Structure 1
Amino acid sequence: MMGAPRTRMFLVLTSFKPRYPIINTTRIPQMAQVKRNYDAKSLILAEVIYWVLWIVLLALTAGGMKLLQFIHTGPYPFVNGVLLVIKFGISFYISLLIVAWSLPKPKAGIHKTGSPEVKKWFINFQFAKIWNIPFIKHILFSSFVLRPIFLRACGAKIPFDMAPSAFMRINDPFMIEIGKGAVIGLDCMFAGHTFVGDKLALMKVRVGENCTIGAYSSLTAGATVGNNVVLGRGCTLYPLSKIPDNVKVGHSCHISQGTKIEPGSTIEPYTQT
Structure 2
Amino acid sequence: MSAAPQQPNEAEAPVLRDRPDPAILRLTLNRPRAYNSLSTGLMTALQAELDAIRADRSIKVVIIGGSGPGFCAGHDLKEIRANPGRHKYEALFRQCSVLMQSVIALPQPVIARVHGTASAAGCQLVASCDLAIAADTARFSTPGVNIGLFCSTPMVALSRNLSRKHAMEMLLTGDMVPADRAAQLGLVNRVVPEAELDDAVLALARQIASKSPLTVKIGKEAFYRQLELPLAQAYDYASRVMTENMLARDAEEGIDAFLQKRTPTWQGC
| Higher RCO (CA 8 Å, separation ≥ 6 residues) | 2
Normalised to the residue count of structure 1, the TM-score between the two structures is: 0.28
Return the structure number with greater helix share. Answer: 2
Normalised to the residue count of structure 2, the TM-score between the two structures is: 0.28
Specify the structure having the higher radius of gyration (Cα): 1
